[in-house]
Amino acid sequence: MNTLNVFKVAVIVLMASLSTYATNGYFQHGYGTRASGMGGAAIAAPEDTFATVNNPAGLVDQKNRFDAELTWFNPIRSTTLMGTEFQSGATSFLMPNLGYSSLISETMSWGLTFVAAGGMNTTYDSPSLFNNPQTPQAVGTTNIYSNLAQMYLIPSWSMQLNRDHSVGVSLNVVYQTFEARGLQAFGIQDQGQDTSTGFGLRVGWKGRLTETLSLGATYQMETTMSAFSKYKGLFAEQGKFNIPATYGIGAQFKATESLTLALDSTWILYSAVKSLGNKMTQTAPLGADNGSGFGWADQNILKLGLAYTLNEDWTLRGGLNSAKMPVSSSQTMFNVLAPAVIESHYTLGATMNLGDGAELNLSYMYAPEVKLTGTDMATGYDLKMKQQDLHIGYSLKM
């Protein structure tokens, strides 16, 4: 089977397996197996076709390349309500990502990637986790369930300005789905799955300042999504659920012939998206412009990674990804649906050269358990989460 046919088959698999990934809020800690092994640090020097997500300016350096990877994601989440712990039943997810790049000329390239980029998923075997502060006698009648899944189709273009500097742009074509059950206490009946689509741009620059130091910068605009019409009575702004803007800067330093260090600082502007940023309120109905949201604050994420070339066949990686959780203690009730309380991620990775332009990439991430105790209107709703993931990827330079 040739590369194009493999790509088509894998796209079908990807579309059939939309799932969730919540770690830096609801974004992945890293995109691409190589970057994932380095804590996600990749802005200054992307190393695969997932440059389209990390920094599209780096796509031209990938020349003609194909990447396919599969991620096993294992989040362990629970909510403690008035002393009783409820465990989320959804604990294992498989997600494929794909990328392809091709040179247009010696200084210009295009690429296409498919990425399962984010989401939230919880499943609780209880209908009584939620009660509405405005009508405390009301409870849900079906078990609590929520799932937000997103898929990005990303065509990209990149160009070298000169020997040391390049720029790039990616178009994010986004498809997302959402479903929630068990929210009858808030007057929301089980509506089934709804879909939403939207578009957004990411731009990037990277430059080599010296033989050992490179810098990069990237910005992704807020992606305007069509509303979830079935959930216009849940999400603020009548069902709107835009994807927040992000921006970041990065540096890579080649300390020795064998050792490379990378550092990124990334910001995610959750608070600008009302369905994510609005805090819990009893003064406005759900779905209104100022209605309750998840109460998420903006996140600043630090990503530190290193790569050590052991020999011509093996490269080893390690990394740290750290950020303050976007959820505050007064906002835990709604975040039963999206317990994004993880703060630190520790990563390892490796690349094995298979010969003839092929390589096998591996990475592992562990995020230790974090607990958040609810206060104010959210008193009694305590969130807890830990997680791990394993990436395996195959790459071919053509």
The pTM of this model reads: 0.90
Residue labelled with tokens 């300042």:
209
Can you give the pLDDT at residue 22?
58
Can you give the pLDDT at residue 388?
96
Residues in the chain where the model's pLDDT stays below 50: 1, 3-19, 132, 134-138
pLDDT, one tens digit per residue, over 191-243 is 889 999 999 999 999 999 999 999 999 999 999 999 999 999 889 999 999 99
Question: What CATH number is given to the structural domain containing 105?
Answer: 2.40.160.60
Residue among 92, 135, 28, 124 nearest 336 (CA) = 124
Q: Which domain holds residue 305?
A: 3-397
Sign of CA dihedral 187, 193, 194, 197: positive
Can you give the pLDDT at residue 309?
98
Can you give the pLDDT at residue 82?
72
pLDDT, one tens digit per residue, over 40-63 is 999 998 999 999 999 999 999 999
* Alpha carbon separation from 137 to 79, 180, 185, 315, 377 (Å, rounded): 20, 21, 8, 59, 15
Can you give the pLDDT at residue 131?
52
pLDDT, one tens digit per residue, over 65-97 is 999 999 999 988 888 877 788 887 778 888 889
Can you give the pLDDT at residue 332?
87
Can you give the pLDDT at residue 1?
45
Residue labelled with tokens 């068990």:
182
CA dihedral 157, 204, 247, 301 (to 10 degrees): 100
Domain count, the chain: 1
